[in-house]
Chains A and B, each alone.
Chain A
Amino acid sequence: MSFFGLDCTRNREREVERKIRANDREYNSSFRYATNSIKTSKYNPFTFLPLNLFEQFQRIANAYFLFLLTLQVIPAISSLPWFTTVFPLVLVLTVTAAKDAIDDINRHRSDRQVNNRKVNVLINGKLISEKWMNVQVGDIIKLENNQFVTADLLLLSSSEPLHLIYIETAELDGETNLKVKQALTVTGDMGDNLEALAAFNGEVCCEPPNNRLDRFTGTLTFDTQKYSLDNERVLLRGCTLRNTDWCFGLVLFAGPETKLMQNCGKSTFKRTSIDRLMNVLVLFIFGLLALMCIILAVGNGIWEHQTGSKFNAFLPRKENIAFSAFLTFWSYIIILNTVVPISLYVSMEVIRLGNSYYINWDRNMYDARTDTPAEARTTTLNEELGQIKYIFSDKTGTLTQNIMTFNKCSINGKSYGDVIDHYSGQRVEITEELARVDFSFNRLADPKFLFYDHSLVEAVKLELPDVHAFFRLLALCHTVMAEEKKEGELVYQAQSPDEGALVTAARNFGFVFRSRSPETVTIEEMGIQRSYELLAILDFDNVRKRMSVIVRNPEGKLSLYCKGADTIIYERLHPSCNKLMKVTTEHLNEFAGEGLRTLVLAYKDLDEEYFSEWKQRHHESSVAMDEREEKLDKLYEEIEKDMMLIGATAIEDKLQDGVAQTIEQLAKAEIKIWVLTGDKQETAENIGYSCSLLREEMNDVFIVTSNSPEEVRQELRDARLKMCPDTEQDQFLIPEIILGNTPKVVQDENVNGDYGLVINGHSLAFALESNMELELLRTACMCKTVICCRVTPLQKAQVVELVKKYKKAVTLAIGDGANDVSMIKAAHIGVGISGQEGMQAVLSSDFSFAQFRFLQRLLLVHGRWSYLRMCKFLRYFFYKNFTFTFVHFWYAFFCGFSAQTVYDEGFITLYNLVYTALPVLGMSLFDQDVNDRWSLEIPQLYVPGQLSQYFSKRAFMMCALHSCYSSLVLFFVPYAATYDTARDDGRDGADYQSFALITQTCLTVTVCVQLGLDLSYWTVVNHLYVWGSLGMFFLLTFTMYTDGLFRLRPSSFAFVGTARNCLNQPNVWLTVALTALLCVLPVVAYRFFSSQIYPTINDKVRYKVCKMKEPAPRPRHTRLIRRSTRRSGYAFSHAQGYGDLVTSRRFLRRPALVSTGFTPTGRSPGFKPTGRSAGYSPVGREQNPKQKVEPTSLQMFRAVKDSSY
Chain B
Amino acid sequence: NFCVIFITFEGFLSRAGEANFPLAKMAAQEVQPSETIAKLKSESEALKTKLEEERAKLHDVELHQVAEKVDPLGQFVMKTRRTLKGHGNKVLCMDWCKDKRRIVSSSQDGKVIVWDAFTTNKEHAVTMPCTWVMACAYAPSGCAVACGGLDNKCSVYPLSLDKNENLAAKKKSVAMHTNYLSACSFTNSDMQILTSSGDGTCALWDVESGQLLQSFHGHAADVLCLDLAPSETGNTFVSGGCDKKANVWDMRSGQCIQSFETHESDINSVRYYPSGDAFASGSDDATCRLYDLRADREVAIYSKESIIFGASSVDFSLSGRLLFGGYNDYTINVWDVLKGTRVSILFGHENRVSTLRVSPDGTAFCSGSWDHTLRVRE
The finding on whether chains A and B are genuine partners in a shared complex, rather than unrelated, reads no
Chain B positions near chain A (C-beta within 8 angstroms)? none
